[in-house]
Structure 1
Amino acid sequence: MTVQIFGIGEAVWRVAFFTAIFLSLALLELLHPRLERPELMRALKAQRWFTNLSILVLSSLLLRIIFPAAATGVALWAEAKGYGLLPMTGLPPLVGGVLAFVILDFAIWLEHVIFHKVPLLWRIHRVHHADTGLDLTTGLRFHPLEILISMLWKSAAILLLGAPAVSVLIFEIVLNGTAMFNHANLRLPQRTDQILRRFIVTPDMHSVHHSAEPQDTDSNYGFNLSLWDRMFSTYLTRSKHEPKDVRIGLAQYGNPLPARLLWSLLLPFRKA
């Protein structure tokens, strides 16, 4: 089962948007870096990129093996069976699609909070936070186990909602793009950042979440809409430290360990 828009399949749309967003952000990071940090420079950056992108490839392959039709396939199956709350409401398709998008975004925000609060899940999620640099590839650095758990969580939300398949596809593309955007080492004009973060998560806003300071990490959980952190009082305007002085990563792990692929893959199985 697959979703097709204008005769083009779901996987093609996702790869096309991913490639365009990735290349655009990579260029913008070069032209307008938010910070010039040693861990974002040359040799270590190359090692970090290799590891982060390798984790992405492994996670994507595993996901396609276990969930060949991905989230859109789940939505199509639910649609065919008539499952879900949204079909029962009789809402117009456009309204139902927008509502599904917003609720799915909340589900991902809540999932992120849970991964931080449940010790067993944190062991897996800390692979993402162990990265000592912060750029667009950090937004792709999620352990394969986390990706599988996330797909199960997302599938449950899709089935409960009866989310339209096209809405799910758009959500997946947007979520992937915004995850790269808000992790990017990208400098935005202060006024632009202030306006954007009223609606979406910006790089400056999300960088606080990747601080090694626990009180910073326990904030700004959003990947896409900034609404949820404001609503549930987990929004933090900025760290108490200046951006250049904020230590990125986890206090117990420094360079070069998190930049190594095998070390990163085995991290969930190491003692905290």
Structure 2
Amino acid sequence: MIELLVQSTHWQLLLTALAFVALAGVETLFPLSGDRRHRARRWFANAALFLMGFGAVFMASPLILKGAAWVQGALHFPPLTGLGLPAWLLVVVSFLLIDLLAYLSHALFHGAPWLWRLHRAHHSDTVVDASTGVRHHPLESLAGAALQLMVFAVLGVPLLVVLAYGLITTLWQFVTHAEVRLPETIDRALRLVVVTPGMHRVHHSVRMDEGNSNFGMVLSIWDRLFGTYRRRPAAERAGMALGVEGADRAPSLTMLLTDPLRP
């Protein structure tokens, strides 16, 4: 299991680098707002946060997996893998379940004040682009990984599906945060099923009634199902104010790391 995890992290790092380079190129060719101020400083800080969080999760993974196995054994919850489902149905059900849990986890990080302090660094970016997709406080990355792996273990979700979903979201986080101008007809059609850049941009609004919406990770169906879906016309999205009220446009890495200590 540990060997599989190590191989997966190698692929995730490679995909992260390739996806960022590709989306950064697309953003340059087809910009939404054209705001390139402080980009080098933002990219450095966002990349540093990602590497620190990735390293923290990787180092803690053996302990998290042991803890998850203990919880699974203590609760004796019937695992998905033990229900006798056909392989294809097990994969589909597992994917839907993981994406639902990602939605609920995201909503929890907005709803619980102490978790919001960890997640706030992600939302404080006032120019949302591909790099924002990996702008997460290391403690948020660690807490999120531990929480989700514990739940996955209890439910008996196949590890291969969990790892595959992780690789998919590695790519999709760049797509949903990309500062690109998609034709509205395409964005609107796609968001019937999946989270699009136009849909997720509303989630990064400085207005918290909009920031506390559109929590979906890959699929958009959960927001529609639970009533957290919000939309804005394309003409408004390009110039909407993003970030957190009072956030610095280009905070230093130190400021981002100490942000959870701020009220």
Query: When the two structures are superposed, what TM-score results if normalisation uses the length of structure 2?
Result: 0.90
1:167 to 150, 161, 167: 161
Deviations 1:156-185 (A, max 9, x none): 221122112221111001112111110110
2:97 to 84, 103, 128: 103
CA RMSD of the aligned region, Å?
A: 2.6
**In structure 2, what is the equivalent of residue 182 of structure 1?**
176
1:241 and 1:251 mapped to 2: Cα distance? 22
With over 3 angstroms needed to count, the CA separation of the structure-2 counterparts of 1:156 and 1:251, relative to structure 1, is same
Deviations 1:51-77 (A, max 9, x none): 000000111111111115987xx79xx
2:20 and 2:138 mapped to 1: Cα distance? 20
2:51 and 2:195 mapped to 1: Cα distance? 25
Query: When the two structures are superposed, what TM-score results if normalisation uses the length of structure 1?
Result: 0.87
1:183 and 1:93 mapped to 2: Cα distance? 33
For 1:89, give the aligned amino acid. Answer: L
1:211 and 1:131 mapped to 2: Cα distance? 10
The question of whether the paired residues in 1 share the 8 Å contact of 2:184 and 2:234 is answered with no
**In structure 2, what is the equivalent of residue 270 of structure 1?**
262
What secondary structure is seen at the aligned counterpart in 2 of 1:18?
helix
For 1:102, give the aligned amino acid. Answer: L
**In structure 1, what is the equivalent of residue 85 of structure 2?**
91
Q: Does 1:60 align with 2:58?
A: no
Q: Does 1:12 align with 2:6?
A: no
The question of whether the paired residues in 2 share the 8 Å contact of 1:84 and 1:161 is answered with yes
For 1:132, give the aligned amino acid. Answer: T
Matches within 5 A, 1:88-237: 88-237=82-231
2:26 and 2:252 mapped to 1: Cα distance? 26
2:3 and 2:220 mapped to 1: Cα distance? 28
Offset, 1:121: 0.9
The question of whether the paired residues in 1 share the 8 Å contact of 2:81 and 2:158 is answered with no
1:87 and 1:231 mapped to 2: Cα distance? 26
Offset, 1:127: 0.8
Tell me, which stretches of 5 or more residues in structure 2 are unaligned? none
Offset, 1:3: 6.2
What secondary structure is seen at the aligned counterpart in 2 of 1:219?
coil
With over 3 angstroms needed to count, the CA separation of the structure-2 counterparts of 1:69 and 1:185, relative to structure 1, is farther
Aligned residue pairs, count: 259
- Percent identity reads 34
The question of whether the paired residues in 2 share the 8 Å contact of 1:2 and 1:10 is answered with no
1:147 and 1:157 mapped to 2: Cα distance? 16
Deviations 1:14-71 (A, max 9, x none): 223223322221111111112222xxx15x0110000000000111111111115987
